[in-house]
Structure 1
Amino acid sequence: MRETSLPWCLGGDFNAVLWDHERTGLSNKREMEHFRQFVDDGSHIDLPLSGNKFTWCNNKEKVSFSRLNRFLMDVDMLGRFPTLRQHNKPKVSWDCPPNGWFKFNIDRAARDCLGHLSIGRVLRDDFGAVKLVFYKKAGWGDANLAEVLAVREAMILFAASSWVNSTSIIIESDSSKKELKFGWQIVVGTVIGFFGAAFGSVGGVGGGGIFVPMLTLIIGFDKKSSTAISKCMIMGAPASTVYYKLRQRHPRLDMPMIDYDLVLIIQPMLLLGISIGVTFNVIFPDWTVTILLILLCTGTSVKAYFKGVETRKRETVLKQVPVSVGINLYEANGLCKGWKVIASKGDEGTNWKGYQLVLCCACGMVAGIVGGLLGIGGGFAMGRLFLELGIPPPVTSATATFGMTCSSSMSVVEYYPLNRFPVPYALYFIVVSVIAALIGQHTVDKLIRLTGREPIIIFVLPFTIFVSAISLGGVGISGTIEKIEQNAYMGFENLCKYEG
């Protein structure tokens, strides 16, 4: 461009920004400085942009916007066209209609069967300017009726608008509802979900590490919907397992199979740690989370495997290992003074020292942080801690499952009003997980009665964790490769600037 004496202008996607305000979140400083140096060395003029200040969106769970499209020119070109301007139409999530046309974007909300209907419409002209925004209740019906009503209302409203000087209109539906259609994806997903729920309920780990990759890679849901449906499946499987275990007794003591005192001790501090871990999940880059996930799950599964081998040899592990007591002062004080015991261990007394209580709180906190950071939930942490405490494997599985039932059901209650998951898929996979959990528990109970050995459950735990590490690690590695190809920022995030 320096060798020509003619005026010139170069426009397109430069895949880089000049300034910090041209990209949300943290920018690649080195890349930005190189591009700015290129513009300064050539004395290029960056044509100002009006309208939407961003030209690109990553369309990911953590939304990021950037200005990648621009026009560069020399002084002669700007001198010949002094009124030259660049305007960016809002095409991040909307396609402009042809000149002289209007476009109605419609959307509807309805329960999957019969329920109250809502419809909404947004009218824009060919320049992208919003002319009309409207929302109304539409009575009672199903989702299909809501779609028809939205189209009809849009056409009536457009025809009745006296200020519209055009009869050309495009109606586009923004409805992203995913109907339940049986195909090979559902068949494969059902098989994987069935075995994931069966092994997860037996091991007391839920199975979320298997559900989320299955829903994302096979069924085709986005990460947010996959997480919500996974919570529904995790709610169904533990609930059926708890119902199954309520009728059973401790294998060696006169007490229920579920140790409610143990849940009361571990749960509060675990939940606090999960909250901290979720914050770390926002700050840590995806590649770091993926590496930690693979290392931790692999190490945990190997240790749990050797724990199963040890238990198989000894059949009863009687260790005085610190327990995470959380914030429940009543339980902590009782353990410290010796008048509270971990009943499911079969101990006649449990005398806790002060340093042991501090260590126990730290154990619960660390377990929760790891669970929140890596997104593997409390089942993985509780199962391993209970085994280290010397709790019998059947009691470990039942107690950890009971603890997951409350947290997962609360998540589903929060997701449902937000329409974060399609109800038909959620109901279908809940039924699959419930049936799988009941069959898995019944099968393992029969095996224990036939063989007389409980370590079968311990061997299921490392297997489930190992499979989860491979599946979640694979999803994380693929996402990291995609970011590398897009030259996306891969450093630590600033929590105060997070907009996801």
Structure 2
Amino acid sequence: MEIALVIAGVLCFVAASISSAGGIGGGGLFIPILKIVAGFDLKKASSFSAFMVTGGSIANVVCNMVLMKRSKNGGHMLIDYDIALLSEPCILLGVTIGVILNVVFPEWLITVLFALFLAWCTTKTCNSGISYWKVESEVVRRSLCENGKDERSIEVPLLRENSKSKLLCVPWIKLGILIMIWVSFLLLNLLRGNKYGQGIIIMESCGVGYWIITSIQIPLAIIFTAWILCSGKILQPQGFIDQDVEGRAILTQLMFPVMALLAGVLGGVFGIGGGMLISPLLVQVGIPPEITAGTCSFMVFFSSTMSAIQYLLLGMEHFYNASIFAVICFAGSLIGLLVVQRAIERHGRASLIVFSVGLVMALSTVLITSFGAYDVWMDYTSGKYMGFKQPC
């Protein structure tokens, strides 16, 4: 068993290195590795994955807050804090819902949903990567024809510049609001306590008080999102949304909370952090790959930490081993991110980020579908209970 854990740790290090460039955490690879190599069941692998995604996202956030894209025209931050502000309340609400569903849903349903979700995301991401590559190739071709430069000396600009990204300082007010939102949801979860009713206050496990405190997160997410949308001093959506039509701008703003809610639910159920859904959707609405990766990793940090805490409150075991795997993924993500950033600077192709995401998703789809189907068949033939369970 110890040898299997060591091998799993090495493979997770490699998976974190590959996944880090796209800011997606790597949960889609961590879970198959833990299932196949370490022999974990799906739910234990999901809880471990939440800690591992947290470790990788910490490395990404540190790099993206410190590193800035340098170019001939200046530099910009790699995190869009406006998108994070619009998304965080709903993604944290989704995490709570997803963690509860992870306990309730049978493994066969989780496997089917995960496979369908990854297949859809893989298709969207690969199509976006091909589109970005064609545009970058056209820019390189024109530059070679006009200036006769070597390809490695040509800098391909972001496909969509935004005015706020030129700021080289961290917007501390927005960061403070993000932390305030995260702390608000954390306090509710601590007040609610674990599945045994042990929290800040004593209450019946899964009793009326337990579910009242849990349901308070719904109006809390709505209030925070409405406040951010209505406060022009906090949010300046023109930085990342085309303002050609006012109605279109409002619709696009509302899309981010809906996307975040779904990503949070899936992240809580699967222990993946939600980046695999956020990344392709941000690319689809026109956010540049580098900004997408930085923003995704920033949002995944908040969702994965909340998911890890909730798994602990729901009685997760083997915390020590999960923490070791989190440290391994932190190191792997740090190395992978630096290598990919160097490759982008050398070749001027930010589409490498999109293809990195697509590769992780494709591998995850094949592994989850194949081995998940095998596990479900074994459970069926052995007569194991395959129905829904109580939430606590």
Does the residue aligned with 2:274 lie in a helix, a strand or coil? helix
**Counterparts of 2:295 and 2:159 in 1: how far apart (Å)?**
17
Contact 1:273/1:367, CA 8 A, preserved across alignment: yes
Offset, 1:419? 7.4
Residue 454 (str. 1) matches residue 350 (str. 2): yes
**Counterparts of 1:255 and 1:352 in 2: how far apart (Å)?**
29
**Counterparts of 2:314 and 2:386 in 1: how far apart (Å)?**
30
Offset, 1:439? 1.1
**Counterparts of 1:273 and 1:232 in 2: how far apart (Å)?**
17
Please name the residue that 2:135 is paired with: 314
Q: How does 1:203-352 map to 2 (within 5 A)?
A: 203-250=22-69, 254-278=75-99, 285-315=106-136, 317=159, 327-333=224-230, 340-343=236-239, 345=240, 351-352=246-247
Letter in 2 for 1:329: A
| Deviates most, 473-482 or 385-394 | 473-482
Greater radius of gyration (CA): 1
Structure 1: segments with no counterpart, 5+ residues: 1-177
Contact 2:90/2:257, CA 8 A, preserved across alignment: yes
Offset, 1:225? 4.2
**Counterparts of 2:258 and 2:68 in 1: how far apart (Å)?**
31
Residue-by-residue CA offset, 1:450-474 (whole Å, 9 max, x unaligned): 1111000000111111222222223
Please name the residue that 2:202 is paired with: none
Offset, 1:341? 2.1
Structure scoring higher RCO (CA < 8 A, sep ≥ 6) equals 2
**Counterparts of 2:271 and 2:314 in 1: how far apart (Å)?**
21
**Counterparts of 1:221 and 1:313 in 2: how far apart (Å)?**
42
Q: How does 1:83-482 map to 2 (within 5 A)?
A: 181=2, 183=3, 185-250=4-69, 254-278=75-99, 285-315=106-136, 317=159, 327-333=224-230, 340-343=236-239, 345=240, 351-353=246-248, 355-413=251-309, 420-422=316-318, 424-482=320-378
TM-score by length of 2: 0.67
**Counterparts of 1:347 and 1:209 in 2: how far apart (Å)?**
32
Does the residue aligned with 2:336 lie in a helix, a strand or coil? helix
Distance 1:435 1:349, change over 3 A: farther
Residue-by-residue CA offset, 1:188-231 (whole Å, 9 max, x unaligned): 21331112111221111111122223223322345554333322
Offset, 1:265? 0.8
**Counterparts of 2:235 and 2:50 in 1: how far apart (Å)?**
38
Percent identity, aligned pairs only, is 29
Does the residue aligned with 2:37 lie in a helix, a strand or coil? helix
Does the residue aligned with 1:387 lie in a helix, a strand or coil? helix
**Counterparts of 2:311 and 2:253 in 1: how far apart (Å)?**
36
Letter in 2 for 1:313: K
Please name the residue that 1:498 is paired with: 390
Does the residue aligned with 2:124 lie in a helix, a strand or coil? helix
Offset, 1:447? 0.7
Does the residue aligned with 1:328 lie in a helix, a strand or coil? helix
Distance 1:352 1:249, change over 3 A: farther
**Counterparts of 1:309 and 1:290 in 2: how far apart (Å)?**
29
**Counterparts of 2:47 and 2:379 in 1: how far apart (Å)?**
24
**Counterparts of 1:477 and 1:407 in 2: how far apart (Å)?**
28
**Counterparts of 2:314 and 2:265 in 1: how far apart (Å)?**
26
Contact 1:261/1:342, CA 8 A, preserved across alignment: no
| Deviates most, 352-361 or 294-303 | 352-361
| Deviates most, 379-388 or 346-355 | 346-355
Contact 2:24/2:276, CA 8 A, preserved across alignment: yes
Q: How does 1:33-48 map to 2 (within 5 A)?
A: none
Distance 1:482 1:274, change over 3 A: same
Decide which structure has greater helix share: 2
Residue-by-residue CA offset, 1:223-247 (whole Å, 9 max, x unaligned): 5543333222212111112111222
Offset, 1:417? 7.7
| Deviates most, 433-442 or 454-463 | 433-442
Please name the residue that 2:190 is paired with: none
Letter in 2 for 1:331: I
**Counterparts of 2:49 and 2:235 in 1: how far apart (Å)?**
40
**Counterparts of 1:486 and 1:238 in 2: how far apart (Å)?**
39
**Counterparts of 1:460 and 1:224 in 2: how far apart (Å)?**
26
**Counterparts of 2:245 and 2:237 in 1: how far apart (Å)?**
5
Contact 1:379/1:400, CA 8 A, preserved across alignment: yes
Does the residue aligned with 2:316 lie in a helix, a strand or coil? coil
Offset, 1:267? 1.8
Decide which structure has greater strand share: 1
Please name the residue that 2:180 is paired with: none
**Counterparts of 2:133 and 2:390 in 1: how far apart (Å)?**
48
Please name the residue that 1:132 is paired with: none
Residue-by-residue CA offset, 1:35-84 (whole Å, 9 max, x unaligned): xxxxxxxxxxxxxxxxxxxxxxxxxxxxxxxxxxxxxxxxxxxxxxxxxx
Distance 1:262 1:310, change over 3 A: same
| Deviates most, 420-429 or 188-197 | 420-429
TM-score by length of 1: 0.54
**Counterparts of 1:356 and 1:425 in 2: how far apart (Å)?**
42
